[in-house]
Structure formats: C-alpha cells, structure tokens
Structure 1
Amino acid sequence: MELLAAAQSMLILLIILFFGIGPSPALAHPIDAQLLVDMWNVKHKLASTGLFLEQESNHTMPFWKEWAIVSAKRRTIVGLHHLEFAWSLRFGYPILTCFELGPFPAPAARCLWQSDGEEEWQRLYKEWLKQWADGGSYKMTELFRVNGSKESDALDARSELWLAEADEFGMMLMAEANGIGVEF
C-alpha cells in the first residue's frame, strides 16, 4: 500500500514538474528525462507486486478490497505510461505503443469506482459480471485498437459497451488512443 501511495504521489508531482502550472514547465528538459528513467523503476516495482486477480481471470467476483487495490495499481501504472506518452509527444520523441498494457483490463466502470460501500459494490459487480459474461472484461488491447480517424470506422459492440460505463480516466485514454491516429 505504501508503494502504491508513493507511486500515485509521484505521478501527481511529475505532472506538475513536467507541465507546470504556468506558461512554462517547472523542470527543464532534458533533466526531466532522468526522472522518467527513475519512474520506470518505481513502475516496475509496483507491477511486481501483482496486477491481476485470479477471480478476474475466472470471471468471478473478487474481494472488494483486493479488487480496489489491484485496480488502483493498474490505473497508476497506466497513468504513468500516459505521462510518459504526453512527455514524448511534447518533446518530439517516439511515442510508446504500450503493448505491455494490452492484457490489462481497461479501466473499470464508473459505477464500480463510485459505489458507496462493499455491499453496493458487490451488487454492482454481479451486474457487471453478467454484462461482460460473453468474452470477459474489456481489455486495454481492445481500447488501443479503436481508431476513429476515418469516417468509416465504427465502434464494435464491446467498445460501445465499455464506453457507456467508462469514467473520466477511461475517456481520457480513449481520447488519447483515438486522437493520435496511430494503429496499434
């Protein structure tokens, strides 16, 4: 838990340092590149603490607290990847394709994150399991394949279902994957 809290704090601080709160960033480039390297070490350490639950693989209900912790770790790692992506775009470096995130479940439904307690979460999670019974949860690799750069592109049913329940973090990732027009 301490590592997760530290990584989340680091994410917030790096956003402030890299992009500043005023007309210019608080940290000069290329000094920030070393911070990205250091961030990779923290990200790797956090990932080594476990990012998947067996219940998720079996499409059964995990324990609420375990789900929340693992989901928060995944969101933090995806957020750190997003920060590196934005930094790379800003300074003209090749962008990451994030293929290693492909097996991750896409960010969980807004209703699951906003539930008021364990009982409500369990009820909502049961409904969510039924909704995603065919094919399991939506994965990051599916999100990365969505590309609306052409008018003929249409969302598949799974992508539409995921978007209907996505929160702001999920929408940001969708906009990022869709906005750059890169085929993953």
Structure 2
Amino acid sequence: MFKHGRPPPFIHPSQLGDGIRLPLLRCSRVLGLLKESDARDSQATHNEISNEIIASLAEYKNYDEGDLLAALQAYNLYSIVLLFSPDKWGRTHRVEQALIFGLQDICLEVATSGVLLNAEVNLEIPDWNEWVMVASKRRTVLAAHTVLWIWSLLHGYPPFACRELGFMPSPAPKILWNAPNDRWQDLYQEWMRRWPGGPHRLEELQALGTEVEIDPRTQIWLEEADEFGVLLMSEGICMESIAKEHS
C-alpha cells in the first residue's frame, strides 16, 4: 500500500516519498515482507514486527513530533496484523494485553502533543504543513482507539469510548485531506464558508445513536466525509447501542 501511494486513511500522502520518517519506512519494509512471505517464513516476519514494536516502545519518548506520529501510525498497523491475524503464532492473551498497553501509551503521547491549532480555534486559515500534522495526529489517534475498541469487544472488556477526545474536530473532509499545498488557501477558505460556527467536533458524532436523528451539522459533515469518517460515525453509533445494552 505504501509502494503504490495508497496509504491508510490516517497516513497523509505527504508523509511518504523522499521525506518518509524512519518508523514508517521500517514499517513499509516489514509489512512488505509479510505480503511476500509464505507459510514457512511468515513466522519470522511476525517476529520482526514484534521487534519493531519493542523498539518503538523503547524509543518513542525521545522522538520529535514527526517521528512520534510515524511511530504511532506504524504501531497501529503492526497491531492490526498481530491482534487480528488468524495465525496466533504462539501469541497469548498476556502478550496481546502488553501490545494494547503499549498502543495506549504511544497514543496518549501523541494526543497530548497538540491536536488543535490556534488558527482552527480562531476560525482562520492554518498553515498547510501545520494542519497536515495535526489532522494526521487526530486521525491516527482515532484509528488507535478503533483498534482498542475492537479488541476490547472481542475479549469482553468495556469498550473505549474516547469521550476525552470530544473537543477535537471530526476527521477532515476528503477535499481538504487531499488538498495540495498550492490550492490550500482557496479550498480551506471555501470550506470555512460552510462552517461559520467552527468545524464539526467529535463530540457531535459521539452524540449519535440508533434512535437519534442526524442533526444538520452532522449531515453536512457526512456529505464531505471520506471512508474513514463514515467508519467512525458507524463506530460511534455502535458504541451508543452497546452502552444502552449494558445500562
């Protein structure tokens, strides 16, 4: 997926190419090996993924902003492979728990490193590079919470509702996420006209439920959303349904 320029929806296209951060570069190499491996050497590739996870947990506290984001993005992908692969490769529940705890730790580090720009709060046009960084952080943190949520459901644990992230803008529309730098000012200004009260927030998505009519702001947001946004909306509705079942 990296080689063909089609990254997961929480990795911005600008993060790939010549300036790719080392954690993502290593992730691309390891996952490439997994794709090319057969039954005989896939165990070795899974072991290499485990080694990359151990290295990330040992190093992430010393990373700068870009490497920290890349580390969480890579950890998300490693977690998906290890936690949801049909091949257990001797993986125990305790090992899975350690993996989940590590994901939580790096996710918290990214979430507390700044996920909202002053320009967004002040309804101004942010710098493209700064916006790409925080928008990628927000998507990556939400992707991590999705992994945590699914794993919790599979094992009968209370799901992670991530209510503490309700202040964040909901995932950006496809037109902004894919906007090139040279068209950024015009596209963002045009988009702001649709949102005079500020961007749609995650807490507005979290308020949805199976018996709740979609409000006008969320309808507008849904019209603009990409596949990642639609997935999160569905997840939010499922969370609400599960919460009602356990209340």
Q: TM-score, normalised by structure 2?
A: 0.68
Which of 106, 111, 124 is the aligned partner of 1:42? 106
CA distance, structure 1, for counterparts of residue 161 and residue 124 of structure 2: 30
Which of 179, 188, 198 is the aligned partner of 1:125? 188
How far apart are residue 183 of structure 1 and its match? 5.8
Counting only pairs closer than 5 Å after superposition, residues 1-184 of structure 1 correspond to structure 2 as 1-20=66-85, 23-25=86-88, 27-115=91-179, 117-133=180-196, 135-147=197-209, 149-150=210-211, 153-180=212-239, 181-182=241-242
Q: Max radius of gyration: which structure?
A: 2
How far apart are residue 173 of structure 1 and its match? 0.3
CA distance, structure 2, for counterparts of residue 183 and residue 17 of structure 1: 28
How far apart are residue 129 of structure 1 and its match? 0.8
Contact 1:145 1:183 in 2 (8 A): no
- Equivalenced residues, count: 177
How far apart are residue 36 of structure 1 and its match? 1.2
Q: Any idea what the Cα deviations from partners look like across 1:145-183, whole Å, max 9, x if unmatched?
A: 111x23xx3211001000000011111101111134146
CA distance, structure 2, for counterparts of residue 91 and residue 182 of structure 1: 14
Aligned to 2:43: none
CA distance, structure 2, for counterparts of residue 80 and residue 155 of structure 1: 26
**What are structure 2's unaligned runs of at least 5 residues?**
1-65
How far apart are residue 35 of structure 1 and its match? 1.3
Amino-acid identity (%):
37
CA distance, structure 2, for counterparts of residue 86 and residue 40 of structure 1: 14
Report the RMSD for the aligned CA atoms in angstroms: 1.6
Q: Any idea what the Cα deviations from partners look like across 1:22-60, whole Å, max 9, x if unmatched?
A: x34553323211111122221122223211100000011
CA distance, structure 1, for counterparts of residue 88 and residue 186 of structure 2: 45
